[in-house]
């Protein structure tokens, strides 16, 4: 179990840090958890826009595929 990976997947699914926190009852800061993953990997995982967040085309897409394999396999 990895709470940071779960948080990353929740934000990616919800398309918003605040929606992920509400929908998935995540009490730690979604933004902080995802920023710490990005910093550890030295990549940007999400792009923020006026509608929420989307995965970056390279690192975000690749990391979500890897995360799903870790969590669900």
From first to last of its 73 residues, the chain has per-residue pLDDT tens of: 578 888 899 999 999 988 998 888 876 677 787 888 889 999 999 999 999 999 999 999 999 999 999 888 8
pLDDT in the model for residue 1: 57
pTM for the complete prediction? Answer: 0.85
Q: Are 51 and 15 in contact (CB under 8 A)?
A: yes
CA distance 5 to 51: 23
Q: H helices of the chain, where?
A: 3-14, 17-23, 30-41, 59-72
């Amino acid at each position: 179990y990895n709470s940071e990976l779960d948080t990353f997947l929740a934000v990616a699914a919800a398309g918003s840090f605040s929606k992920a926190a509400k929908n998935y009852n995540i009490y730690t800061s979604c933004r902080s958890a995802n920023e710490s993953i990005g910093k550890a990997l030295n990549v940007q995982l999400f792009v923020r826009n006026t509608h929420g967040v989307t995965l970056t085309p390279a690192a975000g897409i690749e990391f979500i595929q890897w995360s799903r394999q870790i969590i669900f396999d």
